[in-house]
Amino acid sequence: MKAILIREHGGLDKLEMADVPDPVARPGEAVVRVRAVALNHLDIWLRRGVPGHKFPLPMIPGSEVAGIVESVDDPRWNAGDEVIVAPGYSCGLCTACLSGNDPLCRNSGIFGETVSGGAAEKIAVPIRNLIRKPASLSFAEAAAVPLDMLTAWHMLVARARLRPGETVLVQAGGSGVGSAAIQIAKLWGATVYSTAGTSAKAARAKALGADETIVYTEVDFVDAVRRLTSKRGVDVVVEHVGGETFERSLRALAKGGRLVTCGSTSGGEANINLRLIFFKLLSILGSTMGSLAELHEIMKFVEAGRLRPVIDRVLPLSEVAEGHRILEAREAFGKIVFEV
């Protein structure tokens, strides 16, 4: 089959369209013919490399997959079923998994990070990772749902324990996580402020449900938050930008506020004034994706039309390098999806 293969870290030239063996399903697995795969910053990190982290190269990237079941040995599923593939896997048997804390499983991982993903014609996945694709969604829309929506849900609902009536600052509302977080925070009855790099992105963030938007290239977002909240600050900050914004995100919090972080797209190092943490009784919460149970819960809201994937553009898989360029240049609002 054809697949995007990364043999070594580097620039866009390291994205190779290669011929690789078809996947073979092991017991408890299904083979899915991929119809669409969404792009994430995880794919960028896999290509570039991350200091201190070892990826098992060569690897096929791609964490978010939608497609058609090609072969399966399970009475609940048939060849031809249209599915979304849950992006995270775990043993399903340990205490962490059975309590709904899949990311804490010692054997947990993400397709396209710890094992090869779905930027290919086919992928073999555990049967428990199959989720029925809503008929209302195209394959491209379906591929744009699972990772970012699950990550934002886990950040706000499980980690920050968002409550109705609270205030939330969503950093980079035009990103996949940001556009999902705006919708989830509004679903939970919060007042949402979102940053964006341009006025055009700010307008789209507001159309998604943000109550107020802040163009961070024109104003200091901390000053803007203080103005919007009568100097109080926000209860929760959804932070995934990293070193560029982290310390100021803390300053945007109200007393007793919670910062929840899932990434560091602008760099993994940040300076923190510890006095700010203990004088304001702040909490810093780490978060990585979420559980399979949470994704099934999310899909109820997706099917009801109350949460929706946000797609910037759809490209053929052969244009994977252009997708990487667009994402790195911060030109996208929402997801870039490749059709296979």
Backbone angles phi, psi at 186, to 5 degrees: -70, -40
Query: In this predicted model, what pLDDT tens digit does every residue of 290-300 receive, in sequence order?
Result: 999 999 999 99
Assigned CATH topology for domain 2-145+309-339: Quinone Oxidoreductase; Chain A, domain 1 (3.90.180)
pTM of whole model > 0.85? yes
Query: In this predicted model, what pLDDT tens digit does every residue of 150-178 receive, in sequence order?
Result: 999 999 999 999 999 999 999 999 999 99
Question: What is residue 263's predicted lDDT score, i.e. its pLDDT?
Answer: 77
Q: Residue 64: which of 83, 44, 46, 85 has the closest Cα?
A: 85
CA dist 82 and 143 (Å) reads 12
Query: In this predicted model, what pLDDT tens digit does every residue of 39-83 receive, in sequence order?
Result: 999 999 999 998 888 999 999 999 999 999 999 999 999 999 999
Long-range pairs, 89-94, Cβ under 8 A, ≥24: 89/115, 89/125, 89/126, 89/129, 90/292, 92/126, 92/128
Question: What is residue 166's predicted lDDT score, i.e. its pLDDT?
Answer: 98
DSSP-derived secondary structure for 45-80: HHHH-BTTB---SSB---SEEEEEEEE---TT--TT
**Contact indicator for 213, 193 with CB cutoff of 8 Å:** yes
Q: What confidence category does residue 240 fall into, taking pLDDT thresholds of 50, 70 and 90?
A: confident
Q: Is 133 helix (H, G, I), strand (E, B) or coil?
A: coil
Assigned CATH topology for domain 149-286: Rossmann fold (3.40.50)
Q: Please report the sign of the dihedral spanned by the C-alpha atoms of residue 93, residue 99, residue 102, residue 108.
A: negative
Question: What is residue 199's predicted lDDT score, i.e. its pLDDT?
Answer: 94
Domain range summary for the chain, segments of one domain joined by +: 2-145+309-339, 149-286
CA dist 238 and 233 (Å) reads 14
Question: What is residue 266's predicted lDDT score, i.e. its pLDDT?
Answer: 65
Question: What is residue 9's predicted lDDT score, i.e. its pLDDT?
Answer: 97
CA dist 326 and 108 (Å) reads 30
CA dist 116 and 126 (Å) reads 13
Query: In this predicted model, what pLDDT tens digit does every residue of 200-228 receive, in sequence order?
Result: 999 999 999 999 999 999 999 999 999 99
